[in-house]
Amino acid sequence: MELFEAIANRHSVRSFKADPVPREKLARLFEAASQAPSSMNEQPWRFYVASGASRQAVGEIMAQSTSYLEEYMKLIGHEVTDEALRWYSELGGAPHLIACTMPRVDDDFARLNKQISIGGAVENLLLAVTEEGLGACSITFSFWVSDQIAEVLGVPEDRVIVCLVVLGFPDAEVGGGPPKTADVVTYLD
């Protein structure tokens, strides 16, 4: 697949087959992620892949996190709340969950540089997912349960989870994602 084709075809997948992704495919994804640029070539990323019982435990924690959003959930309605609880507890049926981590830092500038580096690594990973015929969804999660997730995944205290990615084989043949805004640049002479 050509680079621009992979970029155009990359989209979030939220429904997965239960089949695990072979380890050699996972290795190629992380090889791609590790090629991302980083400030001073620091390469601050470390990935934790949860499958089986550990992935299930993270799903249970994620489902509980919605209880912190009770007021918001009342606003969006019971049907949407139930769907959110179901999706987070099952994580779309994805057989794998990836926690993307970086070193814990107090300095705002250093933190920003590390977060930008993690973003580049995650995008490389997501493009490789597309190339490999897999599906993934980078998800935000409730930071008030991040310590619980880190504990389940064995993330040391000197690291922080930046984002989570669910990964697997797409459950159904899905088309591209929603249209993207083309008007995103201002040229100055």
Which CATH number characterizes residue 28's domain?
3.40.109.10
What pTM was estimated for this model as a whole?
Answer: 0.88
Residue 98, in any domain of the structure: yes
Residue 22, domain extent: 3-168
Instruction: Flag whether 180 is in a domain.
Output: no
Determine, yes or no, domain membership for 102.
yes
- The percent of residues above 90 in pLDDT, for the chain, comes to 63
Number of domains observed in the structure of the chain: 1
Residue 48 lies in a domain: yes
Instruction: Going from the first residue of the chain to its last (189 residues), give the mean pLDDT of each consecutive group of 10, the final group possibly shorter.
Output: 87 93 97 97 97 91 68 62 75 94 96 96 97 92 85 97 95 73 89
* Encoded tokens for 64: 């509980």
Given this model, what pLDDT does residue 64 score? 75
Q: Which residue has the tokens 């000197």?
A: 158
d(CA 189, CA 185): 13
In a domain, residue 164? The reply is yes
**CA nearest neighbour of 48 among 121, 127, 152:** 152
Task: Give the pLDDT score at 174.
Answer: 62
186 occurs within a structural domain: no
Residue 31's φ and ψ, nearest 5 degrees, are -65, -45
What type of residue sits at position 110?
A: A
Give the span between the Cα atoms of 142 and 65, in whole angstroms: 6
Q: Is residue 85 part of a domain?
A: yes
Q: Would you say 28 and 132 are in contact if contact means Cβ atoms under 8 Å apart?
A: yes
